[in-house]
């Protein structure tokens, strides 16, 4: 009878120990996902479509060009209004917040800044 009690206690404590480790491992996975934290870059739009935006700018002192994938969950704003990626015009200045996923730059938000990089002429 004592052995049954000992075995039962061992099972209870080993199960509780395993349960205590599960939230920690989940928290670790979440923090690892956060480590691929978002970055932000600014630049001039070279081209845009419904699912991509190509931006030219400078990164670490060098001219760079980024191609960002745009998902339905990407927040795109211009002049305080929501727009779609296809509405962004070449020459407009943008700030893009993105994350790296599977080797691709995935835009999480795009803010189109007022004006364009190329000056407009008055007629």
Q: Is residue 121 part of a domain?
A: no
pLDDT digits 0-9 by tens, 72-102: 999 999 999 999 999 999 999 999 999 998 8
Q: Are residues 45 and 72 in the same domain?
A: yes
What integer pLDDT is reported at residue 12 of this predicted model?
A: 66
* 43 and 89 belong to one structural domain: yes
16-55 residue pLDDT tens: 444 444 454 444 444 444 456 789 999 999 999 999 999 9
The residue with tokens 């002429």 is 121
Q: Is 120 within the bounds of a domain?
A: no
- Report pLDDT digits (tens) over 55-67: 999 988 999 999 9
Residue 30 in any domain: the answer is yes
Token pair for residue 114? 């007022």
DSSP for the chain reads: -HHHHHHHHHHHHHHHHHHHHHHHHHHHHHHHHHHS--EEEEEEEEEE-SSEEEEEEEETTEEEEEEEEEEEEEEEEETTEE--GGGPPTTEEEEEEEEEETTEEEEEEEEEEEEESSPPPP-
CATH number at residue 56: 2.40.50.320
Which tokens sit at 56?
A: 């030219």
Q: Is residue 87 part of a domain?
A: yes
Confidence (pTM): 0.65
Domain limits for position 19: 1-35
Let me know whether 18 and 70 are in one domain.
no
* More confidently predicted of 78 and 3: 78
HSE-up of 80 (CA within 13 Å, CB side)?
0
Q: Are residues 64 and 19 in the same domain?
A: no
Co-location of 25 and 79 in the same domain: no
Residues 51 and 94 in one domain: yes
The total number of structural domains in the chain stands at 2
């Amino acid at each position: 009878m004592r052995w049954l009690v000992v075995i039962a206690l061992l099972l209870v404590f080993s199960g509780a120990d395993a349960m205590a480790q599960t939230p920690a491992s989940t928290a670790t996975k979440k923090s690892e996902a956060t480590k691929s934290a978002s970055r932000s870059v600014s630049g001039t739009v070279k081209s845009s479509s419904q699912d991509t935006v190509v931006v030219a700018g400078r990164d670490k002192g060098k001219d760079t060009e980024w191609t960002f994938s745009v998902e339905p969950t990407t927040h795109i704003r211009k002049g305080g209004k929501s727009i779609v990626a296809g509405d962004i015009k070449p020459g407009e200045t943008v700030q893009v917040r993105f994350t790296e996923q599977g080797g691709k730059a995935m835009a999480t938000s795009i803010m189109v800044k007022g004006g364009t990089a190329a000056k407009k002429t008055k007629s």
